[in-house]
């Protein structure tokens, strides 16, 4: 920032600091003013966008302007002062719309302007340098928190930092609450797990006008209905590598009016532009992929705790996009891209009692994930998902349902791949007993399990001679899934 302001120019140099609310835009501008104040010999003037006339009138009077300032002459007085003075810095803080400050931006003069805003598109296409703030890095976040909490850092401090997404305002609020209530990092982390965002609202530092939740609600209220619906959907996904193509390809599963607007890319990207404008989402640098701050996701979900519309839509979209079987490289790529989002959405789904996605749908989704993990050689992870599916199916469908048999068969094949043939046979036998009873011995699914049993028995029945080595290895038998 300082290097940019060193340039020689007859027109003011403008730099725009944009970020999600709570990211520390105002603090960044203040830090620059404190660090380089001596370089701006014409003075540094702080202007709150909510009180433009009053703040500009105050600084012009302090600068020696003796005229009576009115709405009609204040702009000309400001421009006149900026032309006659050099090395000044004006900071416009918390600007929402360019038109709010447009007339107050000096057209000439050897000075500098800093603008802080949540609107990442405020100066799009204009002569201004854009600075997009990211969350603090880990070590900076540790230093930031411990300096304010006045407690030496430990692992609990680092856990808390990650839980709050390394967001300066959230860390400030946490430190304020810890000091006020004389509690440790570990205790605050525990309370945050129990009370969530309510705890953040309690830790308002005295030098902040708003807490994180309030700051973001202001921006959310400015979104169109469809853009807000898109934000709701994205809050139930993993916070990184969010693909918009998935949304576009499954517009039929979206609520209106977002569904109508997502039937072509032009309308979808208009909604995306609203979210990037207020820094709710950020382009990941890879085409079509975006990220959303995890705490912003939590604030969004908190507003929807009694509405399962969006979590249901996300699960159905992801489940529909998940390949049934993984044969080609693109199938594996799709599976791995979707898995973090499925894990996130399914974990949130457990807290919604009125969801239209019933237990059977959830179990089927668990089973598809298990098949994907098994196909990719992630056998232990596959068993975890199969166990979840089996638990639900036994409870919701009964211990002798054909879907329950499918779970036993899938788990048996996975144990077989792990070399535990005894466990595999036990599970295959359970599946066979159910299928023979429900479908009969001649049903294709029953015969598939009989084939799997025969294959799993071979290693247990044979004892290869230690003196002889096989001349070749038999290629792996493809899975017989139901």
Same domain, 127 and 6: yes
Q: Is residue 143 part of a domain?
A: yes
Q: Is residue 21 part of a domain?
A: yes
Q: Is residue 155 part of a domain?
A: yes
Cβ burial of 244 (10 Å; 0-12, 13-18, 19+) is: buried
Same domain, 88 and 175: no
Same domain, 59 and 168: no
Q: Is residue 43 part of a domain?
A: yes
Q: Is residue 184 part of a domain?
A: yes
Looking at residue 351, its pLDDT comes to 85
Same domain, 96 and 22: yes
Boundary of a domain, candidates 209, 233, 257: 209
Same domain, 17 and 126: yes
Counted domains in the chain:
2
Same domain, 126 and 171: no
Boundary of a domain, candidates 132, 147, 166: 132
The boundaries of the domain holding residue 193 are 138-209
Low-confidence ranges of the chain (pLDDT < 50): 206-209, 463, 465-475
Same domain, 66 and 101: yes
Looking at residue 325, its pLDDT comes to 81
Q: Is residue 8 part of a domain?
A: yes
Q: Is residue 276 part of a domain?
A: no
Q: Is residue 307 part of a domain?
A: no
Record the pTM: 0.77
CATH code of the domain in which 80 resides = 3.40.50.300
Same domain, 7 and 128: yes
Same domain, 119 and 148: no
Boundary of a domain, candidates 150, 181, 209: 209
pLDDT in tens, 32-85: 999 999 999 999 999 999 999 999 999 999 999 999 999 999 999 999 999 999
Please tell me the distance from the alpha carbon of residue 220 to that of residue 348, in angstroms, as a whole number. Answer: 21
Same domain, 16 and 127: yes
Same domain, 91 and 204: no
Same domain, 96 and 168: no
């Amino acid at each position: 920032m300082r290097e940019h302001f060193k340039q020689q120019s007859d027109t003011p140099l403008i730099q725009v600091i944009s970020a999600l609310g709570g990211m520390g835009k105002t603090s960044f501008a203040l830090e620059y003013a404190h660090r380089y104040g001596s370089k701006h010999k014409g003075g540094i003037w702080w202007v709150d966008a909510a009180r433009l006339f009053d703040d500009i009138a105050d600084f012009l009077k302090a600068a020696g302007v003796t005229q009576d300032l009115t709405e009609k002459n204040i702009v000309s007085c400001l421009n006149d002062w900026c032309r006659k003075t050099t090395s000044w810095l004006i900071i416009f803080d918390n600007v929402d719309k360019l038109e709010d400050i447009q007339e107050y931006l000096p057209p000439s003069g050897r000075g500098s302007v800093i603008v802080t805003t949540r609107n990442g598109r405020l100066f799009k296409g204009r002569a201004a340098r854009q600075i997009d703030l990211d969350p603090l890095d880990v070590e900076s976040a540790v230093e930031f928190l411990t300096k304010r909490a006045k407690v030496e850092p430990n692992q609990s401090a680092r856990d808390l930092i990650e839980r709050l997404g390394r967001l300066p305002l959230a860390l400030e609020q946490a430190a304020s609450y810890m000091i006020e209530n004389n509690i440790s990092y570990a205790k605050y982390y525990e309370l945050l797990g129990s009370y969530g965002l309510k705890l953040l609202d309690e830790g308002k530092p005295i030098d902040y006008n708003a807490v994180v939740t309030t700051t973001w609600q202001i921006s959310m209220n400015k979104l169109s209905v469809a853009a807000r619906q898109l934000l709701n959907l994205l809050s139930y996904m993993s916070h990184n590598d969010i693909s918009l193509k998935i949304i576009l390809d499954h517009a039929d599963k979206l609520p209106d009016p977002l569904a109508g607007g997502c039937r072509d890319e032009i309308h979808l990207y208009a909604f995306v532009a609203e979210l990037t404008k207020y820094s709710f989402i950020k382009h990941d640098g890879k085409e079509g992929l975006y990220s959303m701050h995890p705490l912003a996701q939590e604030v969004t979900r908190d507003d929807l705790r009694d509405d399962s519309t969006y979590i249901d839509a996300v699960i159905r979209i992801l489940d529909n996009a998940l390949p049934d079987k993984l044969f080609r490289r693109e199938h594996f790529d799709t599976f791995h891209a979707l898995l973090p989002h499925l894990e996130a959405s399914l974990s949130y789904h457990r807290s919604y009692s009125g969801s239209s996605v019933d237990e059977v749908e959830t179990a089927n989704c668990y089973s598809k994930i298990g098949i994907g993990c098994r196909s990719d050689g992630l056998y232990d992870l596959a068993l975890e998902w199969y166990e979840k599916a089996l638990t639900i199916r036994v409870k919701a469908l009964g211990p002798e349902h054909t879907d329950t048999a499918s779970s036993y068969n899938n788990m048996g094949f996975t144990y077989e791949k792990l070399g535990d043939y005894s466990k595999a046979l036990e599970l295959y036998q359970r599946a066979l007993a159910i299928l023979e009873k429900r479908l009969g011995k001649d049903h294709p699914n029953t015969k598939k399990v009989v084939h799997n049993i025969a294959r799993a028995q071979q290693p247990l029945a044979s004892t290869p001679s230690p003196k002889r080595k096989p001349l070749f290895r038999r290629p792996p038998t493809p899975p017989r899934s139901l």
